[in-house]
């Protein structure tokens, strides 16, 4: 009976690093293929609308609940700290800045990555392992154009819209809490809240949402489109899509915040 020798730690780490860089190279090629295909006909407008409906409309209930609760909870948590300094009048401004600059795009991106990213990864993964993608190629249909490009465009277009919707719901939840405790009118809440908001704040939030949406779409499609090892690979593709998309969203958040801060007065 042969005893299996344990591989040295350095060799294992080297293998993992090699696999990581190979995966990054393959992802770069996948993104390049997307940018080449997105500008070439045929243009699958019906499929883009269908995927936009799946990404946007079907996510509204979760976004609505999360956005409203986020506004209420953040306001409740911020009030005691401001009350110690007698600065509760600054609460609308603080909440508006936090929601528009950070909470709305980040929370929307994370929710979409969890809900939509896993769905895309599992859907394309199951099509890959059951050879449906190969069948589309035989039938003279471009599967990359029909499956990948449409889904990436849908997430890129819809995540910014979901972010704006969530920001409005979060501000509505904040107003309900502020009005219940300080009896602040709606007009006063809006005036105080948006007093410190400028164009750069809104632009950076929309930019982050566009980048987050593209990241969710391209990562999920890449994982699903390159699924192997049958049904086990489908589950791995769905899980990896969510984890990798969320990780990149945090990295992109840091980078975009740093860049936009250079342009602030």
User: Per-domain residue ranges for the chain?
Assistant: 44-262
Over residues 24-53, mean pLDDT = 89
In angstroms, the CA 52 to CA 1 distance is 58
What pLDDT was estimated at residue 8? Answer: 63
Mean pLDDT estimate for the chain: 87
Which tokens hold the place of 257?
A: 């915040």
**pLDDT at position 180 over 80:** yes
| Between residues 165 and 2, the one the model is more confident about | 165
**pLDDT at position 100 over 80:** yes
Summarize pLDDT for 5-25 with one digit per residue, the tens.
555 666 566 777 777 778 888
What pLDDT was estimated at residue 5? Answer: 55
pLDDT cut 90: percent of the chain above it: 51
Of 47-61, 201-215, 222-236, which gets the smallest average pLDDT? 222-236
How far does Cα 34 stand from its chain's mean position?
A: 18
Q: Grade residue 222 by pLDDT with cuts at 50, 70 and 90.
A: very high
**pLDDT at position 62 over 80:** yes
What pLDDT was estimated at residue 17? Answer: 74
**pLDDT at position 157 over 90:** yes
Torsion of CA 122, 123, 129, 135, to 10 degrees: -170
CB burial of residue 38 (10 Å; 0-12, 13-18, 19+):
middle
8 A C-beta contact, residue 205 and residue 104: yes
**pLDDT at position 187 over 90:** no
């Amino acid at each position: 009976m042969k005893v299996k020798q344990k591989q040295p730690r350095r060799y294992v780490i080297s293998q993992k690093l090699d696999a990581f860089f190979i995966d990054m190279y393959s992802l770069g090629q996948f993104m390049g293929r997307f940018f080449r295909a997105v500008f070439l006909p045929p243009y699958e407008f019906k499929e883009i609308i269908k995927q936009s409906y799946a990404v946007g409309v079907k996510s509204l209930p979760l976004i609505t609940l999360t956005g409203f609760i986020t506004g209420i909870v953040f306001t409740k948590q911020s009030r005691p700290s401001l009350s110690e300094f007698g600065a509760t009048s600054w609460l609308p401004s603080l909440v508006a800045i936090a929601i528009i600059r950070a909470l709305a795009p980040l929370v929307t991106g994370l929710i979409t990555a969890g809900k939509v990213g896993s769905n895309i990864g599992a859907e394309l993964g199951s099509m890959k392992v059951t050879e449906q993608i190969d069948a589309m190629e035989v039938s003279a249909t471009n599967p990359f154009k029909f499956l990948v490009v449409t889904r990436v465009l849908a997430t890129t277009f819809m995540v910014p819209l979901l972010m704006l919707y969530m920001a409005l719901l979060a501000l509505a939840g904040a107003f309900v809490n502020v009005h219940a405790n300080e009896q602040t009118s709606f007009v006063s809440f809006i005036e105080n809240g948006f007093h410190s908001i400028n164009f750069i704040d809104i632009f950076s939030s929309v930019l982050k949402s566009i980048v987050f949406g593209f990241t969710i779409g391209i990562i999920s499609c890449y994982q699903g489109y390159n699924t192997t090892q049958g049904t086990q690979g489908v589950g791995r593709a769905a899980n990896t899509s969510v984890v990798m998309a969320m990780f990149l969203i945090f990295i992109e958040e840091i980078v975009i915040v740093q860049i936009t801060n250079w342009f602030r007065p």
